[in-house]
Structure 1
Amino acid sequence: MALVEIPLVSCGQQKINKKIGKKEVERKGVMEIDSKNCEIATFAAGCFWCVEEQFKLLEGVESVTSGYTGGHQKNPSYKEVSTGMTGHAEACNIVYDAERISYKELLGGFFVAHDPTQLNKQGDDIGTQYRSAIFYHDESQKKLAEAIIAELNIEQVYPKNIITEVTTYGEFYKAEDYHQNYFENNPEAAYCQRVIKPKLDKFKKVFKNKVKPKYK
């Protein structure tokens, strides 16, 4: 059983061999860190302010960067992505230490972080930029994501089938600076209190044994 208390497939995750060097970190739009065990997961699960803060809680997650991926326009701005015309999703690049937390565990977090049965929306956030998506970095991530989705659908964990898009990782554009660590920098903002905080409280309860001490 992975982190999340929902049935997950028993197939073992293969070790992702491609490690992250300095140039690759810069190219992939993630914060540079110094760890030989670090790998990347990329998820879209509604507003990236929520996703970023949820995954920051977990032991083994080294950094989370909010940005845009899955679209066709180069170097899009938040204003442009918000129109839904660029094809991008609000997403987070999650750099994690694979010896402390697995990709399978991160997928468990993904399926708790949002409702994967809603098409192009999460709550009041509506549009293709808020779609549910897993952007895989190699075949191991792809196969595990697809297997877990199939299992969750078979077990009818949700009242409707999961519509999460599973697609290859492409160009990732880091969002504007004011989007990074948004909840941490704006804890009293109305959206943070009304939307993000309840999600964080739920996430902490589910993953209480994996939450970093500073967030408990």
Structure 2
Amino acid sequence: MEATNHIKNPKPVADKLKELRLNREDLLAAVEAAVAAAAGVTANHANNAAGTYRYHEGTAMLRDRFVGENGWVKDSTKNIEAIFNPEIGVKVVFQNVDKACCEFHPPQPSTPKKSASKRCIETNNLFDLADIPLTFDARKQGKVRTYYLMVSENGEEVNAEISLVTGVTDSGLFDGFAERIFLSHPDWYSLVDQTENSSDGGDEDFSFEISRK
């Protein structure tokens, strides 16, 4: 298995996202919407309510922020809800995971991936990422890179990354990553309750506050 390329520092992250026609601000807006939706869950909701709300609102905000700009369109191929850029062959899917942005722990989906997702992920291995041009008709060539916007919420700690998975186990877990692009990192900032520490000179562009019930 090839080593994963971890992209963690702000400048390389921004450069890579620009290459993918994405940006951290809008991706984090999707994270914020997802976490805010889950914050409304009470003890009387179904056990899977928090993850379901995160998924629906995260997906909706991805589309609100990106569709109609820079080639992005809404995509529901094979019932996988996503945004897709046919000009560069990149798809982005929202994904709840157990723990994001930990270099020593590969994030795992909250629920096992099914066959349609497995087939999408398998196409990530069909070509060398370095050889893919920035502009081509992805649908005709069958070369689509499926990235996952991975969001984890553990207590008051929220982290997010956008990563390219290369394999799925028989049990539906992620098995290998070509690259992991960290959108949040403990060394930079926390996505939750940053306003309490606003006097320490943190970057206000990457913080928001979630009110929980």
Please give the TM-score of this superposition, normalised by the length of structure 1.
Answer: 0.26
Using the size of structure 2 for normalisation, the TM-score is: 0.26
Report which of the two structures shows the higher radius of gyration computed on alpha carbons.
2
Q: Which has the higher contact order (CA 8 A, sep 6+)?
A: 1
